[in-house]
Structure 1
Amino acid sequence: MDIIWILIAFACGFAAKQLNLPPLVGYLLAGFGMHGLGVTPLDNLQSLADLGITLMLFTIGLKINFSSLFKPTIWAGASLHMASWVLVGAILLKGFALLGIQYLEGLSWPALALIAFALSFSSTVCVVKLLEEKSEMKNLHGKLAVGILVMQDIVAVIFLVAATGKIPSIYAFGLVLLWPAKWVLGHIINKAGHGELLPLVGIALAFGGYELFNAVNLKGDLGALVFGLLLSQHNKGAELAKSLYTFKDLFLIGFFLSIGFTALPTLEMITPLAVISFILIIKGIMLFHVLAALKAPGRSMFLGSMILTNYSEFGLIVAALCVGNGWLAKEWLVIIALAVSISFIFTSIFYEHAHTAYAYMRTWVKYFERTQPTPEYQEQLKYAEVLIIGMGRVGRSSYDILHERLGNKVWGVESDSIKAQKHRDLGRHVIIGDAEDADFWETRELHHIKLIMLAMPSVTDIKDITTQLKMSGYEGHIAAIARYEDERTDLLEFGVDNVFNYFVEAGTGFAEESLHLLENDKEVLL
C-alpha cells in the first residue's frame, strides 16, 4: 500500500508541476482524491506531517534575525491585523447569517468571533514553502511575512494555554538557561563537520527542542522554532538549514496529504464554504492597509499581504477545540479544513505571478504608501558596466575575477542587507537592492550597463528579473547560470542571452586551472 501512496503523490505533484503550479497543489488534491475514493490514511501519515512541521519551524528559526521581530511592521502588523480581522470577520459572517445561510444562521456572536479567530492565522507551511521555492526568505517582504507568522505562532501558544487550561510547568522558567547553552550547541555543530552528521545534529536539535518544550507544558513546535532562533547567527546556520531542506520537504508531503483526509464536504456545506473562501480576499486587503498604516514599503506590503492571504492549519486546531467544547457544530471542522485547502491553492497560483502583478500595479500601490525614510544604502549605478545580481558563492567569485580585469566597472547587487554590508566591509562595491523589484530598476539609469549577470539558481527568479529589465528598457546583455541542461535551454528560449551550466563550467575551470601545474613543470624542466 505504501508504494501506491508514493506513486499517487508523485503523479499528482508531477501533474501540478507540468501545469506550472507548485507541487503542493497536487499533494492536496491527491489527499482529497484518495479520501473521496475511500482510501484509509496510513497510520504514520500524521507522524510524517508533524515531523515536517517541526523541521520547518527549526529551519525558519535558523533564518530569522531575532531583532527583526521587534519592528513595528511585524509585531504591530500581526497584532492589529488579527484583532481587526476578528472584529470585521465576525461582522461579515453575521451579515451572511442574516441571509439565512446554513450553519451560519443562528450562531451567537462569540461563536462567530471564534470562527473569525480560527481564520485569522496564515499558513506557516504554505507561506514558507513558497518563499523557499522562490529564494525569497531573506528579501524584505519575505522577512516581513515570516516575522508576522512567528508572532501569530506566539498568539497560538497563548490561545492553547487559555483554551485547554494547560498551564506551563514551573520548570518552564528554566528555559532561560538555553541562552547561555547556545554556545555549547554551536560548538557541537562546528565539530559535526559537513557530512551526514550535520543534518543528523540538526534533526536532533529540532526534535530535542520540541520534546523539551512539550515536557514543560509548552507547544512543542515553539521549542523547535526557539532552538533555531538560538542558532540563527551561527556561522554554519545557513549550511545546517540547507542540509535539512530535503528531509523537511519530504516529510511535508505527508502534511499536505493529511489535509485532504481531514474531511469531505456535503452539499449543504458548499454555501458556507463559498462564503469563507470569499472573505479571504477581504482578509488580504485588510492586511495590505494595516501594513500601509505602519509605513511598510509599497512592494513589501503588496507581496507580503498577497502571500499571507490564506488560512492556516492552526485554524483546524482552533476548530477542533471549539467542537470538542461544544462551542461549534462538528460540521465547522469540515468547512474550515476545506477552506484551508482552497486558500493554499489560491495563494500558490496567484503568488506565482506576484512580481509581474506588482510591476503593472505599482503606481496604484504607491498611492497607498506612506512617506518612507531614505534607505540605509541607496546608490546610483554611475560607473557600472557589469552588474552582478546575487552575491552568493557564484556571484562573489565572479565579482572578484572580473574586478581584477575591469576594476570599478564591476558592481554587485544583494537583497540581504547584512550580507551586502559584509561584502562592503571586504572592499567590494555592492549595493542593497531586490532585482525582482520593478522600483529598483525604475529609479536607476541603465544605458551605461553593458552586461547584467544573474548569479542565482532559481529559474523563476531569473525569468522575473529578465522581465523586469525588459520592462525598464534595458538593452544590454543578460547572462545567467543554471544547474541542469533543461533549465539552460528554457532560459535561452525565454530570452536570456547566455546561460552557463555551472556544474559543467566548474569542471572546465578546474581543468584549466590544473593545467597551469603542468605548464609550471615544463618551465622547471626547461
Structure 2
Amino acid sequence: MIEPVLVGVAFLAGLAFRRVGMPPLLGYLLAGFLAGGLQLGDADVINVLSDVGIILLLFTIGLKLNVRELLAPQIWATASLHTIIVVPLTSLMLMGLVLLMPGIGGMDTTVALTLAFALSFSSTVFAVKIFDERGEGSALHAKIAIGILIVQDIFAVSYLVLSADRAPSPWAFALLGLPLLRPLLVFLLKQAGHGELLVLFGIAVALGSAELFEMVHLKAGLGALLFGILLSGVDKSVELYKSLINFKDIFLTAFFLSIGYTGLPSGDMLLVALVIASLIIIRPLIYFGLLLMFRLRARTSLLVGLSLFNYSEFGLIVAAMAVKGGQLPEVWLTTLAVAMALSLFIAVPFNTHVHSLYARLATRLQKMERSELLVQERPVDLGEAEIVIFGMGRIGSGAYDYLSQHYPDKIVGVEESADKALKLRLAGISCVPGDASDRDFLERAELHRRKMVLVSLTNHSENVDVVKLLQQLNYKGNIAVVSRFSDQQEELISMGCITFNLYAEAGHGFAERVMEEMV
C-alpha cells in the first residue's frame, strides 16, 4: 500500500513549486528523494504505478500519432544525427572523467559507449508534460519534438531487444498481423460510449497490449504505443485521449517519485552526476543547429531543442540492464538517476520561460534561418478579416458560425494544428494554420487591421499569455477570451478583456437557444 504520508508530501511539494511558477513535477522529484531517504511507502508499488504511467503515456501518444510524420527528415534525420554526434562526445567525456577522478574506477570503451547511448535520449514524460501544461500539444514544434522522441524510443527498444538475455519469442512474428485487429478495436471503441466504459476500454487496451508484448519478450511500452497507433485517426480516438489524460498524469506522478527511490550516490560519483547533468547545456544547441539545417524557423528550433533539454527514463533502463549483465558497477545506476533528476531541474526554468526567452533573442536567432523555409513554416495571410478567432475547437468553431451570420467574409480562424486547419478549409471555413503564442506570427498578422480578437485556446494560462503578447504588441482592438472559473474571469477582466465564463453562462446560452427555436 502507498503511504498516505507519501501522497501528502508529493501534493505539498508539487503545490509549493506551482505557487512559485514552476511545474509540480519538480516537487514530485524532491518528494521522491525524500521518500527514498526516509523509506516512506513501498518502492515496489511505486515502480509498478510508474510503469503503468509510462504505458498510458505511450498509448496516448500513439492515439495522436501520424506515422507519416515520423518519415519527415526533420524528425528521423534529426534524431539519428543527434545520436551520432552526442554518443561519441559523451563517451570521450566519461573516459576523461575516469582519468581525472581515479576514485570512480576504470572504464573501457564499451562501458563508456553504453553510458553515452543511455544519456543520448530525452525524456518523453517531461516533454509531453510540458506541452500539456502550456496547451501546445497540437503545435508544430510539439509534433516534431514528440516525433524525435518516438524515434529515440525505437532506438532504445531496439537496443534492449538486441542486448536482452532472451531473444524475442518466435510468436513475436505473429504481431506483424496486428493491423488486422484495427477494425475490431475501432468497433469496440465506438461501442464504449462516453462514460466509464470508454476509460475502461482505453486502460484495458493499453495494459493488455503491454502484457501481450511482454509475453513475446518485447518491451511493454512498444506494445502500448503500437496499439495506440492502431486506434488513431478516428474521431472517437480524440475523446478517448481526453478521457485518459487525468489517469495518465496521476500515474506519471509515481514515475517522478520513483526516481528518488534509487538513492543518492556518494563522494566522487555525486560529482560525476553533477558534471553529467551540466552537459545537457550542449544538447539544445545541437538540436537547434540541426533543425535550422532542415529549414525550420528559429522559434520552432528553439522550442523543440529546449523541450528535449534533459535525460530520459530510458537511460535508467539501459543502465539497469548493463548492471544486470555485469557490464556496469551498480553505483552508475544511482549516478544516472541523480543526473537525470538534475537535468530536469535545469530544463524546467528554460521551458517555463521559453517564450519570453525567444522574444529577447528573436532578432539574432532569425538571422540564422535558412532563406527557404519548410512549407509549414512559411507566413500565412489573414486576408481582409476584421475578426480573428484563435483556437478552432468546439467553442471557437461555434463562435465562427454565429459571427459569420452577422459579419460574412470578415472572420478568419487560426488553428495550431495544420491538419485540422486544412479540414476546416475543405469544409468551407476560412481558417489558417498558426500559433497564437508565436510572436513572429502575430507580428506578421497586421493586427492594426483587426477590430477584434477572440481567444479560445486549450487552457487558461495559454489564453493569458496570448493576451499579454497582444498587449505587448500594442494591439488596440477588443480582446475577448473564454474562461471556465470565476478567478480566471476576474483575472481576464482586470487585463481589460471581454470574457465569457463557460460554466457560469452556459445556462443562459442554453435558454437563449431554446427561445430562438420557439420563435
- Under TM normalisation by the shorter chain, which class is it? over 0.9
- What residue number does 1:446 align with? 447
- What residue number does 1:289 align with? 289
- What residue number does 2:33 align with? 32
Determine if contact 1:189/1:201 at 8 Å carries over to the other structure. Answer: yes
Distance 1:199 1:21 in 2: 30
Q: Which amino acid aligns with 1:76?
A: A
How do 1:63-74 residues align onto structure 2 when only pairs under 5 Å count?
Answer: 63-74=64-75
Distance 1:360 1:200 in 2: 47
Change (3 A) 1:374 1:279: closer
Question: Which deviates more from structure 2 when the two are superposed, residues 233-242 or residues 85-94?
Answer: 85-94
Determine if contact 1:306/1:351 at 8 Å carries over to the other structure. Answer: yes
How do 1:188-227 residues align onto structure 2 when only pairs under 5 Å count?
Answer: 188-227=188-227
How do 1:260-409 residues align onto structure 2 when only pairs under 5 Å count?
Answer: 260-373=260-373, 375=375, 378-409=379-410
How do 1:102-113 residues align onto structure 2 when only pairs under 5 Å count?
Answer: 102-103=103-104, 106-113=106-113
Secondary structure at the counterpart of residue 186 of structure 2: helix
How do 1:141-290 residues align onto structure 2 when only pairs under 5 Å count?
Answer: 141-290=141-290
Q: Which amino acid aligns with 1:185?
A: L
- What residue number does 1:81 align with? 82
Aligned pairs, number: 517
Change (3 A) 1:492 1:113: farther
Cα-to-partner distance string for 1:168-226 (whole Å, 9 max, x where unaligned): 22222221221122011101111111111111111111112111211222111100000
Pairwise CA distance, 1:43: 4.0
- What residue number does 1:487 align with? 488
Q: Which amino acid aligns with 2:49?
A: L
Distance 1:97 1:473 in 2: 56
Pairwise CA distance, 1:272: 0.9
Pairwise CA distance, 1:317: 1.2
TM-score normalised by structure 1 residue count? 0.94
Q: Which amino acid aligns with 1:186?
A: V
Determine if contact 1:32/1:260 at 8 Å carries over to the other structure. Answer: yes
- What residue number does 2:45 align with? 44
Secondary structure at the counterpart of residue 411 of structure 1: strand
* C-alpha RMSD of matched pairs (Å): 1.8
Change (3 A) 1:228 1:137: same
Secondary structure at the counterpart of residue 474 of structure 1: coil
TM-score normalised by structure 2 residue count? 0.95
Q: Which amino acid aligns with 1:193?
A: G
Q: Which amino acid aligns with 2:294?
A: L
Q: Percent identity?
A: 42
Pairwise CA distance, 1:422: 1.3
Distance 1:508 1:144 in 2: 41
Question: Which deviates more from structure 2 when the two are superposed, residues 79-88 or residues 436-445?
Answer: 436-445
Pairwise CA distance, 1:506: 1.5
Q: Which ranges of 4 or more aligned residues in structure 1 deviate by more than 6 Å?
A: none
Distance 1:320 1:422 in 2: 46
Distance 2:447 2:102 in 1: 57
Pairwise CA distance, 1:244: 0.7
Pairwise CA distance, 1:324: 2.4
Q: Which amino acid aligns with 2:221?
A: D
Q: Which amino acid aligns with 1:176?
A: L
2:91 matched to 1:93? no
How do 1:425-504 residues align onto structure 2 when only pairs under 5 Å count?
Answer: 425-493=426-494, 495-504=495-504
Change (3 A) 1:348 1:491: farther
- What residue number does 1:524 align with? none
Secondary structure at the counterpart of residue 413 of structure 1: strand
Cα-to-partner distance string for 1:63-84 (whole Å, 9 max, x where unaligned): 1111101001111111110121
Which blocks of at least 5 consecutive residues in structure 1 are unaligned?
A: 521-526
Q: Which amino acid aligns with 2:140?
A: L
Distance 1:137 1:307 in 2: 12
